[in-house]
Chains A and B, each alone.
Chain A
Amino acid sequence: MAWDYIFEGLLEAFKLIISGNPELYDILLRSIKVSGLATLYAGLIGVPIGVLLGLSDFKGKEFVKSIFNGLMGIPTVVLGLILYLFLAPAGPLGFLNLLYTTTGISLGQMILILPIVVSVTVNSIESIEEDIRYLALTLGADESQMMLKIIEEASPGILLSLIMAFNRAIAELGVALMVGGNIFIKGGEMNTRVLTTAIQMYVTRGEISMAIALGIILLSLVYLVSMIVNYIQRRWVEA
């Protein structure tokens, strides 16, 4: 009996996916866009910070690194709550009108994933052999050319940081729910419903097949992105 309930849900879910249910695909595209933008922003800010941190040597560097490492595990619900308090109309950043917008979710997710991008980039830069630095220098590179070479050598790790960040962003619920509000109006332009908030809502409503369908899509997306990155990394390492 219990298994029938799950199998029926799965069957319905596959039907929804194959039939190209517009609501389902609308949510999927919005999720990719929102988390993709968050990853882009985090990459633009986090990669340069990670590179500089990885290449520099100063007192307190380990402390700075430990802060970013610690922030990687921040609970999304806590971050969502903090962002809600700041972005609410009565909050200090209320004037930005970012609450219940997709831009707000993107910015929130960016804050969530920035420590991942920074920490993994730092590790990638630091893992490059010291001899590679010496090699670039002895072949005539100046400091900036040497840094570019190290970034190039560390690029598979930097790419990995962005993918880890994207997967964390698209799979998180706390920020999307508290900052986005899970708004959905048919044909509306202000919709903020994404995969995770939709799954949560359909489960509470008892619409299990739709929740399973979205869950399958989310898992497939995360795996697909990981597989593409694995492939690119393998090619890179082989080169």
Chain B
Amino acid sequence: MILLREVSKTFGDKVALRDVNLEVKEGEALAILGHSGAGKTTLLKIISALDTDFRGVYTFKGIDVKRDPGRVRKCITMVFQHPVMFRGTVFENVAYGLKIRGYSKSYIQERVEEMLESLGILELKDRSARKLSGGEKQRVAVARALVLDLDVYVFDEPTSNLDIENIKVVEGAIRGLIKRGKTVIFTTHDFLQARRLSNRMVHMEKGEIVRIGKTERILSDMFL
């Protein structure tokens, strides 16, 4: 499904990614671990077709991402580490992706409310999204992605800076995606979270993949 070959990315003189080779199969839950500056977010932006300015080859379901990023973005969505909110209400934020896909008003209403309820934020529906707390914003960001029925969901440190209650809700939503057979890719600093949610794991250092394999195996390699 996702195939990266010799992908490299630089920012000026700084190498963010060096010759990354990665294959992600449909329905996989892949955790990417690494210190800050290891290149995790850069890799996620490339996988999400938000950054096409890289060396190497990236194909998604056979589509060359550099040639047709728009088509790929219709199948993949990314939830950012620091949730960004559009101006407007929580409802408007969550409804955006459905609206631009041309769904009917009644369908959008029903789907958005259902999603907000499943994340425990239905009562925030008419609140200004930018005035929410960090945890509430993260739940809205997750709802905004999950409301779309896509192939791949990418999360950049989805629970960093969240309290336990919000971590439970967000992890529950990610687990729900995995159960439905969706492909999930996420970055985390939390080994236990990687163990709880993923079946495969990538360990990155200084822009390179240094370990890749089954989560349990990588964790035991790292700690034993």
Contacts and interface: CB of A to CB of B under 8 A. Distances in A.
B86 A138 contact: no
Interface residues of A, number: 20
Contacts of B84: 129, 131-132, 134-135
B67 interface: no
Contacts of A131: 80, 82, 84
A129 B82 CA distance: 12
A147 B48 CA distance: 19
Nearest to B76: A138
A135 B48 CA distance: 11
- The interface residues of chain B, by DSSP majority, are classed as mixed
B97 A140 contact: yes
Contacts of A138: 48, 50, 73, 76-78
A236 B88 CA distance: 9
Contacts of A12: none
B128 interface: yes
B14 interface: no
B86 A135 contact: yes
Interface in B117-173: 128, 131, 144-145, 148
B86 A143 contact: no
Contact residues on B (Cβ < 8 Å of other chain), bracket: 20 to 34
A140 B87 contact: no
A140 B128 contact: no
A24 B86 CA distance: 46
Contacts, number: 53
Contacts of A136: 96
Interface in A67-113: none
A152 B96 CA distance: 13
A239 B87 contact: yes
A137 interface: yes
CB-CB nearest 6 A-B residue pairs: A139-B97, A131-B84, A138-B78, A135-B84, A138-B77, A145-B100
29 contacts: A129-B84, A131-B80, A131-B82, A131-B84, A132-B86, A134-B45, A134-B78, A134-B80, A134-B84, A135-B84, A136-B96, A137-B50, A137-B73, A138-B48, A138-B50, A138-B77, A138-B78, A139-B148, A140-B73, A140-B100, A141-B100, A142-B70, A149-B86, A152-B87, A153-B87, A236-B87, A239-B87, A239-B88, A239-B128
Given A134-B78, A134-B80, A137-B50, 16 more contacts: A129-B84, A131-B82, A132-B84, A136-B96, A137-B73, A138-B77, A138-B78, A139-B144, A140-B73, A140-B74, A140-B77, A140-B97, A140-B100, A149-B86, A238-B131, A239-B128
